[in-house]
Homo-oligomer: A and B are copies of this chain.
Amino acid sequence: MNILFIMYDQLRFDYLSCAGHPHMDTPHFDRVAKMGMRFTNAHTQSPVCGASRMSFYTGRYASSHGAQWNGFPLRIGEHTLGDHLRSTGMGCWLIGKTHMKVDAEGMARLGLAPDSIVGARQAECGFDVWVRDDGLWGEGPDGFYDEKRSPYNEFLNSKGYESTNPWADFANAGVKDGEKASGWMFDNADQPANIREEDSETPWLTLRAIDFIDQAEGPWCAHVSYIKPHWPYIVPAPYHAMYGADHVPEAMRDDREREDAHPVYAAFMGNKIAAAFQQEEVRQKVIPAYMGLIKQCDDQLGRLLDHLEATDQMDKTMIVLTSDHGDYLGDHWLGEKDLFHAQSVKIPMIIYDPRAEADVTRGTACDALIEAIDLAPTFVAAAGGTIADHILEGRNLRPWLHGETPEWRDVCISEYDYSSTPMRDVVGVSNRDARLFMVFDGRFKLIHAEGGFRPMLFDLKNDPSEFVDLAKADAHGDEIARLYDHLARWGRRMSQRVTRSDADIDSSRGKSGRRGILPFLKDGTEVPEALTKAYRGPAKQTFVAQSQKKDG
């Protein structure tokens, strides 16, 4: 079996027709949902690209792997999906984006050369790189562009897009009155990107994925990781014109949210991206472009699926469709992601398992509490490996896929470290306290903020839109205490005992006696004679007398 692990960036869980979107038509996402199982209650481990991805790629919570925000390096030696899969004999390849930043200090300290196989894998969070491009090739005064190679920019140059940064000048900009109309400005989101559709990022990466599939040898896991529909919100024709104001749902927001808002929530509602999305004209321009980007993703997914079918690989390929987090798009008075309303913390999760055991669940939905970290152990098990559950903190989804109802977690945890954002200063906490934790049991959602604040609490049964923060009223103390107990238990979890499996511990238990370490004997009769044999018998020489003589 191979694994096609497809990730979209910032794809909201409910912007798919199979998830009930009133205007999106995504026949190819729906096709996989029909072939497989759609998990309706899947959560990112952290609603920000870098931290979320490091959780997907390590199978561990953000607080466990420590790369808690964009650009925080994944520390040297952290076990990755690649490590786990390669030990089963499966390759683990990257085609697209990871947002990985290398732990250069750790590499130097351990003397790892970036151009060695070990060094390259450490630098790429465990993947072998077929092609990597993270997109977002900025060009500001402090530089970012050219910090790394951009295969996509090189491709555009080869296609005649003449610029040092064709990503910015063509793929993510339109033209208005002969001037560049940058996709960074929401005002330009209704323009078509100044690029041939087939040269834009999503088709380009799809072709790289098809190249990989055609050339790959041995069992493989391919992480096809699209940069879209992440901002800049701009899409080439004809996708730019497929959706309009009629397709923009009303913003899911409520005045009650702004009354006595939690200080952290208030800070996010007051940031620049929120201010932009609070303007209806921004939503009217951005959301159709966002939908066009998703529609293009869907078409390209169709192309990939067709290729698998045409090459007879569908029956031996597990397919996973997911995202690193969602996008508020003006809901809850917010833009971007970062917080824990469903729009941000929930992720699409559709899994096609080709095994016959999964026939019973094809086309069904599962509303169990799923975490992003569940994919890594699911993949290891699918590859025939033993799940190193002293390292991997997620749970194998196989039972759900095969129609069973396993013992399962009581709560989902998600985290957010906002120390690198301006909101830290607005809230007025230290970098160390600029952290949020979500505990969600399927009905009640508690959000804890470090720094001495009250929590937030939502009851999704009575308030599915998450408008009413029950913790404002100082009520529901029992629910709050119960969820805090879950958080405390999670905080004490065994997350770093990564060098000893339970099996190792079992097999070592009680061995010290057999190694000749006997710290509990009065006279030796307490244990089998074999254990003390080496310590009995005639003294070979006697030094005591000499010593005593000397001292005397």
A83 interface residue per 8 A CB criterion: yes
A386 interface residue per 8 A CB criterion: no
What B residues does A435 contact at CB under 8 A?
Answer: 492, 494
Q: Mark A472-507, 1 if CB is under 8 A from B, else 0.
A: 000000000000100110111011111110100110
**Number of this chain's copies in the complex:** 2
What B residues does A180 contact at CB under 8 A?
Answer: 535-539
Q: How far is the CA of A122 from the CA of B499 in the complex (A)?
A: 14
What B residues does A523 contact at CB under 8 A?
Answer: 185-187
Greatest chain B CB density within 10 A among A112, A231, A417, A520 is at: A520
Q: Tell whether, in the assembled complex, residue B499 and residue A105 are in contact, meaning their CB atoms are under 8 Å apart.
A: yes
Given A139-B516, A499-B67, A508-B420, verify A182-B532 contact (CB < 8 Å): yes
Q: Tell whether, in the assembled complex, residue B519 and residue A179 are in contact, meaning their CB atoms are under 8 Å apart.
A: no
What B residues does A63 contact at CB under 8 A?
Answer: 492, 494-496
Q: Mark A73-114, 1 if CB is under 8 A from B, else 0.
A: 111110000010000000000000000000101100111100
Q: Tell whether, in the assembled complex, residue B76 and residue A515 are in contact, meaning their CB atoms are under 8 Å apart.
A: no
Binds B, one of A193-201, A252-260, A358-366, A399-407: A193-201
Q: How far is the CA of A335 from the CA of B518 in the complex (A)?
A: 13
Chain B: minimal CB distance from A169 (Å): 6
Give the residues from 94 to 142 in chain A that come closer than 8 angstroms, CB to CB, to chain B: 103, 105-106, 109-112, 116, 118, 122, 136-142
Within the complex, which residue of B73, B539, B544 is in contact with A237, where a contact is CB–CB below 8 Å?
B544
Interface residues on chain A, size class: 35 or more
Q: How far is the CA of A197 from the CA of B199 in the complex (A)?
A: 82
A356 interface residue per 8 A CB criterion: no
Within the complex, which residue of B488, B534, B537 is in contact with A484, where a contact is CB–CB below 8 Å?
B488
Q: How far is the CA of A505 from the CA of B138 in the complex (A)?
A: 20
Within the complex, which residue of B140, B144, B420 is in contact with A505, where a contact is CB–CB below 8 Å?
B420
Binds B, one of A217-225, A271-279, A343-351, A376-384: A271-279
What B residues does A199 contact at CB under 8 A?
Answer: 543
Q: How far is the CA of A71 from the CA of B505 in the complex (A)?
A: 10
Q: Tell whether, in the assembled complex, residue B547 and residue A184 are in contact, meaning their CB atoms are under 8 Å apart.
A: no
In the assembled complex, 21 residue pairs joining A and B whose CB atoms fall closer than 8 Å, in A order, are: A66-B498, A75-B77, A75-B498, A77-B109, A111-B112, A138-B516, A138-B517, A140-B517, A143-B515, A144-B516, A173-B535, A180-B536, A182-B536, A193-B544, A194-B541, A195-B543, A237-B548, A238-B551, A422-B510, A450-B492, A496-B496
